[in-house]
Amino acid sequence: MPRVKRGTTANKHRAKVLKQAKGFRWGRSKKERAAKEALLHAGVHMFRGRKEKKRVYRQLWNVRINAAIREEGMSYSRFIDALKKANIAIDRKILAGLAETEPAVFKKVVAAAKK
């Protein structure tokens, strides 16, 4: 059996790791061992960040809805309660978008919820 020289495979793997670590600070973008460890930590932060993003956006939507509904003379919690009692199933993302871009439509939703 002929012998297998593995230089190209190792180089490809090393290049792949360093490419993923591009932009990292100090030696973590240039040294393979440091880059591997940095990528492990980066993966953890990426996973957590995807979960945090959902929380942050929901908070933002709540703030936008609250700001718009205060102009109508209601509080956020009473508005959400009124929506549920009126069986209006519009999620907070859509409500925040309406409040920001379509105030007339948002006022109609508020009127329907108040009934």
Token pair for 39: 């990528």
CB 69 within 8 A of CB 76: yes
CA proximity to 113, closest of 87, 91, 94, 92: 87
Give the C-alpha separation, 107 to 68, whole Å.
Answer: 9
Reported as a single tens digit per residue, the pLDDT across 63-109 is 999 999 999 999 999 999 999 999 999 999 999 999 999 999 999 99
Q: pTM above the 0.85 mark? A: no
Residue 16 has pLDDT above 90, yes or no: yes
- Helix ranges restricted to H, 4-102: 7-20, 32-71, 76-85, 92-101
pLDDT band at 1 (very low <50, low <70, confident <90, very high): confident
Domains and their CATH numbers in the chain: 8-114 (1.10.1900.20)
